[in-house]
Amino acid sequence: MNFPKVCLRTIPHKPGQRVLVVSDVHGHAGELRRILEKASFSDDDLLVIVGDILEKGPDSLGTLRYVMRLCENGNAIPLIGNVDAWQITVIDGLNEENAGGFLEYLEGLRRWKGTSFYDELAAECGYTLRTADDILRAKPDIQAHFAREFDFLAGFATVAVGGKYVFVHGGLREANPADNLQCDLYALTKYDAFMTSTPHTFENYVIVGHWPVNLYSETVQQLNPVIDYEKHIIAIDGGCGIKKEGQLNLLILPDLACDISEISVVTKDSLPRIRAGEAQTPIAGDSIHINWLTWKVELLERGDEFSRIRHLHSGWELWVPNSYLSDDNTRCSDYTDAELSVQKGDELSLICETSRGCIAKKDGVVGWYRGTYEKL
């Protein structure tokens, strides 16, 4: 079994060659295909995949095979993500002691997403996994049958440099890309909140995934790429499949020598679309975004559709739809009370319908829309 090692890959700069950048596809092969179509991806382009193609989605194996085909075609460069690397290691390390815990992990994913990478691998080898024993019986067949796929994954680079850009799933620990070769694989692939945590200012822009961008704001819920113009970082993980309002983000660089101002963005989600029947001007004032980092709340009053809560992190008291609360009413996640600025005829992604209006997403920004709408 080959395991991923920390390595740096240089991408040759071809003047005029478009470079498309995506991250955190997490088993969403269909979404990846559709966003590439939307960007008119062709054999002349280069696609950089900034890690975490597996797990937390409906089709990890299909995504892996799709990325393999793109690489055989010669116009894709995949980087390893922490989840990708962990799969190789954990599957190889399955034994009688840990198979029970792994089954619980699979059951969690089945409840959340209906499947898991290991379930998909096992199914193709003819196994249905009900017990820890089933997991262990399937392992040798899985490792033999998918030797090519595992080798392919293990060969992914950790850091890629090309032209004026650097690519890595989590983030760089050292300012100079080459100095990161001394680092642990997970230090580079699982660097949480890299944009706010790193002490460095980078010479070239570092493009990262891993940390859903909506976690960077406590006031606005938005899923578009976030740029730090001082530290020189672009974070692009739109939380596709992880968050109900999530999206896949794709950067388009005219080439690797381009200026940051020349980069354009294509986004894709699978939410239903609506057309606004009236304009809406947001009420002036502060808004809050209760995200996964600050999700602890206290229930003050339970209603049929909405509940009044106190957000422990901010001390704010507000009404939220019951569907945003955990079963035990102690957590609220990805909720915002912000209002969208909407023109009549705008197309929005629909997230949650209530009797007081809907929560929708316009151009990557989430908020309330109180007006009438038609479903498209």
Which residues of the chain form contacts with Mn ion (CB under 5 A)?
52, 81-82, 210
User: Inter-axis angle of helices 132-145 and 99-113, to 10 degrees?
Assistant: 80
Shortest Cβ 177–Mn ion spacing (Å): 19
Q: Kindly state the tokens that stand for 85.
A: 């690397």
Torsion 70-75-76-77 (CA) sign: positive
Place of tokens 């609220």: 332
At 225, phi and psi to the nearest 5? -55, 145
Task: Kindly tell me which of 26 and 311 has the beta carbon lying closer to Mn ion.
Answer: 26
Shortest Cβ 60–Mn ion spacing (Å): 14
Contact 32, 66 (CB under 8 A): yes
Contact 225, 186 (CB under 8 A): no
Shortest Cβ 334–Mn ion spacing (Å): 18
Chain residue whose CB lies nearest Mn ion: 210
Contact 325, 332 (CB under 8 A): yes
At 108, phi and psi to the nearest 5? -60, -45
Task: Kindly tell me which of 81 and 239 has the beta carbon lying closer to Mn ion.
Answer: 81
Task: Kindly tell me which of 251 and 274 has the beta carbon lying closer to Mn ion.
Answer: 251
Shortest Cβ 258–Mn ion spacing (Å): 26
Task: Kindly tell me which of 113 and 210 has the beta carbon lying closer to Mn ion.
Answer: 210
Shortest Cβ 104–Mn ion spacing (Å): 21
Shortest Cβ 51–Mn ion spacing (Å): 6
Task: Kindly tell me which of 162 and 239 has the beta carbon lying closer to Mn ion.
Answer: 239
Shortest Cβ 81–Mn ion spacing (Å): 5
Q: Which of 351, 249, 291, 263 is nearest to 26 (CA)?
A: 249
Could you give the CA distance from residue 267 to residue 95 in angstroms, rounded to a whole number?
41
Shortest Cβ 55–Mn ion spacing (Å): 10
Could you give the CA distance from residue 196 to residue 179 in angstroms, rounded to a whole number?
21
Shortest Cβ 108–Mn ion spacing (Å): 17
Residue 323 DSSP code: G
Helices assigned H by DSSP within the chain: 29-38, 60-72, 82-92, 99-113, 117-124, 132-145, 147-154, 185-189, 194-197
Could you give the CA distance from residue 367 to residue 221 in angstroms, rounded to a whole number?
8
Task: Kindly tell me which of 27 and 321 has the beta carbon lying closer to Mn ion.
Answer: 27
Q: Kindly state the tokens that stand for 300.
A: 């003050």
Task: Kindly tell me which of 82 and 336 has the beta carbon lying closer to Mn ion.
Answer: 82
Shortest Cβ 78–Mn ion spacing (Å): 14
Contact 347, 201 (CB under 8 A): no
Contact 209, 234 (CB under 8 A): no
Could you give the CA distance from residue 163 to residue 126 in angstroms, rounded to a whole number?
46
Give residue 292's identity as a one-letter amino acid code. W
Place of tokens 């909140």: 193
Task: Kindly tell me which of 81 and 163 has the beta carbon lying closer to Mn ion.
Answer: 81
